[in-house]
Amino acid sequence: MTAFHCIRAVRCRLPFADGAFDGAYMLHVGMNIEDKAKLCSEVHRVLRPGSLFGIYDVMKTGDGELTYPVPWATTAASSFVADPAQYRSALQAAGFAVIAELNRRDFAIAFFDQLRAKTLAAGGPPPLGLHVLMGRNAPDKIQNMIQNVASGRIAPVELIARKV
């Protein structure tokens, strides 16, 4: 199961039976879903008791407005970045126990530094990659993402929750 189903499904209703899965994960999706409570309750519904739900999303980690566009949104109107406390609250309200949380800001900064060096050494981006999906303003989106992470406004955060 992927959270992509949730984005496409009407009102975030996953098209699966109760207790259909042994585990679930969400990778860079939550920033696109406004109703985190509904998202978490739907994932809870389709998981068996004791199952794990892993989240790796960009989350709000500091003060200040984001600079747009970013890879997931052109403007603030289409961005639903939330802080880790909002995710924890939504998870707990749905019936999960949060068992781990890790801010991955330092990892992201190192990743972007390596990406920049690799791109410069190659004389530009590879023919295929995420930049193709992001469109012609991909450089702006990536630069704004790096700036937002470097300034501490956002960071990738890992959350692991167990269905209780």
CA-to-CA distance for 136 and 81, rounded, in angstroms? 23
**Is the confidence at residue 1, as pLDDT, over 70?**
no
**Is the confidence at residue 23, as pLDDT, over 50?**
yes
Q: pLDDT band for 127, please (50, 70, 90 cuts).
A: confident
**Is the confidence at residue 2, as pLDDT, over 50?**
no
Question: Domains (ranges, CATH) in the chain?
Answer: 4-163 (3.40.50.150)
**Is the confidence at residue 46, as pLDDT, over 50?**
yes
User: pLDDT tens across 58-111, in order?
Assistant: 999 999 999 999 999 999 999 999 999 999 999 999 999 999 999 999 999 999
pTM, two decimal places? 0.87
The mean pLDDT value for 4-25 works out to 76
